[in-house]
Structure 1
Amino acid sequence: MSRPTEDRPAGLREPVALPRPRPVFDAVVAVVLGLAALAGLWAAVTGVGPARLDAALLDGSVEARTDLLTVAAVAVTHLGSTAAMSVLAALAGLRLWLADRRADAVFVIGATAGAQLVFRALKQLFGRPRPPEDGQLVHAVSESLPSGHATTAVVVIGALVVLAWPSRRPAARAAMVTAAALWVGAVGLTRVYLGVHWFSDVLAGWLVGAAWLALCVAARSRWRTRVTPRAV
């Protein structure tokens, strides 16, 4: 019996066999990252751990500002904004849908939309003020914790890595993960450099994004176990 179409493709277009789903492993990863996200949020709210570096890192970023760095930081922060990442997810989802990969399209779009709801709810819950306005180089609204840029970048870029992973060789996977980590890291750090987030906001955003992505991957893995025929 042939597998369902959604269980075969990887990347954004080429059909290759996907590895067998691992719902238990994926669920454990989601739980571990969820606990890490809770720890990051707690540290930011209480001012312990990495949050103790907030003032020093913000001051250091202000002192390190140059015209060239500021232009680069503004460009990266706009390209990594929640709006830009949402557009990227929508375009990827549309491509997947037109390629008759509707489950993957739902995965990307659903993970992105869910991430938006999660970080906005957390902002409302904690209500943490942003750094002083006189040090901000770009306009920012809403509460500070967690960073929406950091959260959304992890989820969208991570979801695309998940889809591309099965069809890539080890060297390509390493390059892909490195590039993704550098981009997500750069997007988050520009928020500190531009004075609109504390470092602990960004760290919490990365962790919240990773936890949410892991939960979506676990749900996808669980769904695949229901639609993938068992070997006989």
Structure 2
Amino acid sequence: MTASGPAATPVPPTAPRRRPGTVPLLLLAAVCAALFAAVALTVSLRQGTPLAPERAALRWSTAHHGEPLRSLARALTATGSGPVPYLLVVLAGLLAGRGAAGRLRAVLCAVAVLAAGQAIRYGLMELLARPRPPAADWAAHASGYAFPSGHATTSALAAGILAWGIARFARPGVARTWCAVLALWAAGVGLTRVYLGVHWPGDVLGGWLLAAALLALALLLEPLALPERDRPTRPGARPSSRPFP
């Protein structure tokens, strides 16, 4: 006797999450670290003296400090420091975690990565002690040494961490769109530092390279910091209603 109802459609198993392999991440971290070291060594050997292209960039920026570009640059650059990056990484943790405990763990890990990057950046700035461009050319307030750029490093770290959180939560197409938006934001923040005359281009490049190396290392440690049970089952899907064993 056959069943009167329609046959149940089998539900395909959830596809496992794919993350970058260990070797590509190690290679990325090594390349970015080597490039950062090369830039830092150049800055150190020249005792902070800017290269000719850096001087040219400063001359161009000081000649284009008119409105409304200056106000727009100041508004954008303000998002690269202070509470905004930390709010972004907290959001990343909330998106990347699963359940209350998983979200708390993810938030703490995300904030720890940003805080560690800040500490490393501060230490390098004090160690290399590169002077900023002449204060007469500044179009915004700045303090401390120049290399690597704090705004560039911080915004790139925050953008990368939030991109990770979105990739853990959203579907691939949505995640790629947001990753592009975040990359543009971080690039814009870094470029405003040169436009406003408070950093040399090498400072911003160093900040980006440092952030990329740290993000790659953080992804390598992700399985230890955030076990699989604390992650959503798949991007864009609700967690299973079954309790985790």
- After superposition, the Cα gap between the structure-2 partners of 1:98 and 1:66, relative to the gap in structure 1 and judged at 3 Å, is farther
Equivalent of 1:208, from 207, 210, 220?
210
- After superposition, the Cα gap between the structure-2 partners of 1:24 and 1:227, relative to the gap in structure 1 and judged at 3 Å, is farther
Larger relative contact order (CA 8 Å, sep ≥ 6): 1
Distance in 1 (alpha carbons) for counterparts of 2:156 and 2:205 = 11
Which residue of structure 2 aligns with residue 125 of structure 1? 127
Q: Choose 1 or 2 for highest CA Rg.
A: 2
CA displacement 1:69-126 (0-9 Å, x = unmatched): 0110010011122443134334554775973323322321111100110110000000
Equivalent of 2:183, from 181, 194, 207?
181
Unaligned runs of 5+ in 1: 1-14
Aligned length: 213
Aligned pairs (5 A) from 1:47-66? 51-66=51-66
Which residue of structure 2 aligns with residue 28 of structure 1? 27
Which residue of structure 1 aligns with residue 219 of structure 2? 217
Contact conserved, 1:97 with 1:105, CA < 8 A, in 2?
Answer: no
Higher helix share: 1
Which residue of structure 1 aligns with residue 165 of structure 2? 163
Which residue of structure 2 aligns with residue 100 of structure 1? 101
The Cα shift of 1:127 comes to 0.4
Identity %: 33
Read off the aligned partner of 2:37 and give its amino acid letter.
L
Which residue of structure 2 aligns with residue 9 of structure 1? none
- After superposition, the Cα gap between the structure-2 partners of 1:51 and 1:210, relative to the gap in structure 1 and judged at 3 Å, is farther
CA displacement 1:131-183 (0-9 Å, x = unmatched): 10111122211111000000011111101111222444443343222212211
Unaligned runs of 5+ in 2: 1-13, 231-245
Which residue of structure 2 aligns with residue 7 of structure 1? none
Determine helix, strand or coil for the equivalent of 2:101.
Answer: coil
Contact conserved, 1:22 with 1:221, CA < 8 A, in 2?
Answer: no
CA displacement 1:39-85 (0-9 Å, x = unmatched): 2322333459x944111001101112211001100100111224431
Distance in 2 (alpha carbons) for counterparts of 1:141 and 1:158 = 25
Contact conserved, 1:82 with 1:148, CA < 8 A, in 2?
Answer: no
Contact conserved, 2:92 with 2:165, CA < 8 A, in 1?
Answer: no
Read off the aligned partner of 1:187 and give its amino acid letter.
V
Read off the aligned partner of 2:178 and give its amino acid letter.
M
Contact conserved, 1:16 with 1:167, CA < 8 A, in 2?
Answer: no
Distance in 1 (alpha carbons) for counterparts of 2:173 and 2:228 = 32
Determine helix, strand or coil for the equivalent of 1:99.
Answer: helix
Which residue of structure 1 aligns with residue 36 of structure 2? 37
Distance in 2 (alpha carbons) for counterparts of 1:32 and 1:226 = 28
Q: Is 216-225 or 122-131 further displaced after alignment?
A: 216-225
TM-score (norm 1): 0.79
RMSD: 2.9
Contact conserved, 1:19 with 1:166, CA < 8 A, in 2?
Answer: no
Contact conserved, 1:21 with 1:221, CA < 8 A, in 2?
Answer: no
- After superposition, the Cα gap between the structure-2 partners of 1:61 and 1:75, relative to the gap in structure 1 and judged at 3 Å, is same
